[in-house]
Each structure stands twice: as structure tokens, then as C-alpha cells.
């Protein structure tokens, strides 16, 4: 497959695309897990040369690290000048750049998720209850942070209330709120943009 065909095949198989490798641990895992297919040819990874930015970038926007393990005696500027703009894990188990229309196998992967920002105020040991029943949803959550971030992704959410004893998150919409202080297992997130 060409680089573009490989990317499309990964998407067709419900991956996020070609594999992004941005840490030594990910590199070692990929190198060790692909010994057999690399005996035939190199494998496409989600690394490309961006002509506009003049940078090597992973598909998630991360710039290739200076200590990226390139194949021995591999002169990157010369390869890029020759039109080799797509990244592969070579037979040697090290990275290299080749022309994007070459035929290779591919390594698909799930791209690291970017952190979302939760803007608002936290009230420890405080519960806010909707007096008019405007509960948007209630679900199991592993942490207060997960609960707070859930509120920021729903436009109608005004408050998220996390019950640490029961690992439950309740999302409240606009409406009249009653505040209860000194509730030890409850922490509440009040989304920015609303005034108390």
C-alpha cells in the first residue's frame, strides 16, 4: 500500500490512522511487536514531512524528536531533498523517510487524546442540587476530574456533582440551585460562564 492507502485502510478498520510513536516506550513496543512483518519490508507510520512548516510531524501534530532513532548513516536532509516525505519503520527497526507512493505494510494505531480543559470553580464538600429537576444525566465516573470534564463538553451543563462514595457523576442544567455545605463525599464543579 502507498502511504495514503495505508492511512485510509487504518481508518476503514476503525483505528485513528497510522501509528503515532512519540516516546521511547512506544518505539520499543513497536519495534519488538513488528519483527516478523519487517522481515519483508518497512512499515508505514504516521510521520510526514510538512513542506509548508519545513518540519517532520507526527499525524497528531507532535514534532519528531531530535533523538528519533534514525537508521545508521541516514542523512535526513538529503532524503527530504529527494522527495522522501513519508515515514516508515525500516527493516532494521529504525525510522527512515521514503517516497509516499512506495508500497509498504502499515502499522495502525490509536492516537493519543489531547487533554480537555475544564474551566470553572471547584467547591469541595459542597453539593448543589437542582430545585427544578434539571438533571441532564447521571452516570458512573472514576474521578472528580472525569465528571468535571464531562460538564465542559455539554453546552447545557451548568454544574457537575461528583459523589466519591458511589463513584457517580450528576450533570445539572440551567435552573434554580440549592447549595448544601459540609457534604464530605461530594465535590461540585461550577462551569465558567455562570454566576453564583
Per the structure, the count of domains in the chain is 2
Residue indicated by cell numbers 545508521: 72
Candidate from 4-18, 60-74, 163-177 with smallest mean pLDDT: 60-74
Is 114 inside a domain boundary?
no
On whether both 57 and 136 belong to a single domain, the answer is no
- The CATH number covering residue 94 comes to 3.10.100.10
On whether both 127 and 81 belong to a single domain, the answer is no
Cα–Cα distance measured from residue 35 to residue 165, given in angstroms and rounded to the nearest whole number = 47
User: Which residues constitute the domain of residue 156?
Assistant: 120-191
User: Which residues are within 8 A (CB) of 111 and not within 5 positions of it... i.e. 6 or more apart?
Assistant: 16, 17, 20, 46, 59, 60
Task: Please name which of 70, 88, 157, 69 lies closest in space to residue 119, comparing C-alpha atoms.
Answer: 157
What pLDDT is stored for residue 71 in this prediction? 83
Cα–Cα distance measured from residue 43 to residue 89, given in angstroms and rounded to the nearest whole number = 5
Work out the number of other CB atoms within 10 angstroms of the CB of residue 22: 18
On whether both 142 and 88 belong to a single domain, the answer is no
State the average pLDDT for the chain. Answer: 84
Q: What's the Cα-to-Cα distance from 47 to each of 1, 4, 87, 94, 116, rounded to whole Å?
A: 16, 12, 5, 13, 24
- The CATH number covering residue 160 comes to 3.50.4.10
- The burial of 10, by beta-carbon neighbours within 10 Å (0-12 exposed, 13-18 middle, 19 or more buried), is given as buried
Is 196 inside a domain boundary?
no
On whether both 10 and 105 belong to a single domain, the answer is yes
On whether both 126 and 104 belong to a single domain, the answer is no
> pLDDT for 47-96, tens place per residue?
998 887 888 888 888 888 878 888 876 656 666 766 778 999 999 999 98
Amino acid at each position: 500500500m502507498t502511504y495514503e492507502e495505508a492511512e485510509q485502510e487504518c481508518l476503514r478498520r476503525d483505528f485513528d490512522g497510522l501509528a503515532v510513536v512519540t516516546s521511547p516506550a512506544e518505539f520499543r513496543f513497536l519495534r519488538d511487536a513488528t519483527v516478523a512483518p519487517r522481515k519483508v519490508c518497512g512499515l508505514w507510520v504516521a510521520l510526514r514531512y510538512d513542506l509548508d512548516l519545513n518540519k517532520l510531524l507526527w499525524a497528531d501534530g507532535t514534532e519528531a524528536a531530535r533523538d528519533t532513532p534514525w537508521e545508521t548513516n541516514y542523512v535526513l536532509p538529503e532524503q527530504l531533498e529527494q522527495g522522501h516525505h513519508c515515514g516508515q519503520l525500516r527493516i532494521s527497526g529504525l525510522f527512515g523517510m521514503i517516497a509516499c507512493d512506495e508500497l509498504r505494510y502499515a502499522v495502525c494505531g490509536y492516537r493519543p487524546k489531547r487533554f480537555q480543559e475544564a474551566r470553572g470553580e471547584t467547591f469541595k464538600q459542597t453539593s448543589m442540587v437542582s430545585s427544578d429537576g434539571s438533571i441532564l444525566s447521571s452516570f458512573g465516573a472514576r474521578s472528580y476530574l472525569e465528571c468535571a470534564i464531562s460538564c465542559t463538553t455539554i453546552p447545557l451543563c451548568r454544574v457537575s456533582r461528583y459523589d466519591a462514595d458511589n463513584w457517580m457523576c450528576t450533570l445539572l442544567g440551567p435552573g434554580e440551585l440549592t447549595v448544601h455545605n459540609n457534604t464530605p463525599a461530594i465535590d461540585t464543579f461550577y462551569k465558567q460562564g455562570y454566576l453564583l
